[in-house]
C-alpha cells in the first residue's frame, strides 16, 4: 500500500516515468522508507489497470528501452486521499524478529549472548549516526519538504534510541543473572541442538 501511496503522491506533483519515481523515492524518502525498485513497476501496472494512473506518453531513445510517462487520474486523486487516510489511521503492530532470538538467547553462554547483544547495540548506533548525517543533508535531498522530512528522520532516530536503551537494559539484566529463569535457557532445559 505505501508504494502505491508514494507513487500517487509523487504523481500529484507532476508526471513521472518509473525510473524518475525510483530516484525521487530514493532521494526524498530513502532514509525512512523501504520501497523496493521492483515494487514500483508492479505498483504502477496495478494502478494503471485500476484506472488510478494512465500512460500519457512513451519516450523512445535509440539504444534504450522505451519509457512510459504516467499521470494521475481523477480516480487516482481520490484513491490517494483514501490511501493517505488509511496509512495514517491504521495501526499495524510491529513484531520484531530479534525478539525471538532474545527469547531463546538463554541457550547460549552468557558471555556469548552479551557479546552478540553488544554487537546489536553497536549496529543500532551506526544506523542512528547514518540517519543523523542524513538529517543534516535533508535540505539537499528534499528542499521542498525539509520540515516534514526532518520530522520523519527524527521519528526513526527516536525509535533507534529506544532500541539502544532497551538492548542495554537486556544486557544489564543478563549480566546480573536476572534475564532468564534458569541458567539453562527459557524453559529451564538445555536442548541438544
Per DSSP, 184 falls in state: T
pLDDT for position 128: 95
Q: Which residues of the chain have pLDDT under 50?
A: 187-188, 192-193
CB 180 within 8 A of CB 106: yes
Number of folded domains in the chain? 2
- Integer Rg of the chain from CA: 23
CATH of the domain at 30: 1.10.10.10
Mean pLDDT of the residues in the chain: 88
pTM: 0.74
* Helix (H/G/I), strand (E/B), else coil: 18: helix
Sign of the torsion formed by the C-alpha atoms of 14, 18, 21 and 23: negative
Residues 126 and 85 in one domain: no
pLDDT digits (tens, 9 = 90+) for 145-166: 778 888 888 999 999 999 999 9
Residues 25 and 81 in one domain: yes
Concatenated DSSP letters of 69-131: EEEE-HHHHHHHHHHHHHHHH-------THHHHHHHGGGS-HHHHHHHHHHHHHHHHHHHHHH
Task: Spell out the long-range contacts of 103-110 with Cβ–Cβ below 8 A and sequence spacing 24 or more.
Answer: 103/186, 104/185, 104/186, 105/174, 105/179, 105/180, 106/179, 106/180, 106/182, 106/183, 106/184, 106/185, 106/186, 107/184, 107/185, 107/186, 107/190, 107/191, 107/193, 110/174, 110/175, 110/177
pLDDT for position 137: 75
Cα–Cα distance for residue pair 118/120, rounded to 1 Å: 5
Residues 111 and 71 in one domain: no
Domain end, chosen from 89, 116, 150, is at 89
pLDDT for position 34: 81
Residue 110 domain boundaries:
98-175
Residues 25 and 79 in one domain: yes
Residues 70 and 108 in one domain: no
Question: Would residue 182 be called left, alpha or beta, if left means φ above 0 and alpha means ψ between -120 and 50 degrees?
Answer: beta
Amino acid at each position: 500500500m505505501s508504494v502505491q501511496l508514494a507513487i500517487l503522491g509523487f504523481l500529484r506533483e507532476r508526471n513521472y516515468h518509473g525510473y524518475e519515481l525510483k530516484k525521487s523515492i530514493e532521494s526524498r524518502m530513502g532514509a525512512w522508507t523501504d520501497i523496493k525498485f521492483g515494487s514500483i513497476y508492479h505498483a504502477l501496472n496495478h494502478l494503471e489497470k485500476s484506472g488510478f494512473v494512465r500512460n500519457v506518453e512513451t519516450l523512445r531513445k535509440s539504444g534504450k528501452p522505451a519509457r512510459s510517462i504516467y499521470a494521475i487520474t481523477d480516480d487516482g486523486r481520490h484513491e490517494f486521499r483514501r490511501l493517505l487516510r488509511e496509512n495514517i489511521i491504521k495501526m499495524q503492530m510491529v513484531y520484531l524478529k530479534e525478539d525471538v532470538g532474545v527469547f531463546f538467547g538463554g541457550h547460549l553462554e552468557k558471555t556469548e549472548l552479551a557479546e552478540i547483544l553488544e554487537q546489536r547495540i553497536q549496529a543500532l548506533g551506526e544506523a542512528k549516526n547514518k540517519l543523523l548525517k542524513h538529517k543534516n543533508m535533508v535540505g539537499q535531498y528534499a528542499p521542498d519538504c525539509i520540515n516534514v522530512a526532518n520530522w520523519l528522520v527524527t521519528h526513526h532516530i527516536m525509535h533507534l534510541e529506544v532500541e539502544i536503551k532497551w538492548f542495554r537494559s537486556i544486557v544489564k539484566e543478563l549480566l546480573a543473572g536476572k534475564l532468564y529463569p534458569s541458567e539453562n535457557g527459557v524453559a529451564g532445559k538445555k536442548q541438544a541442538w
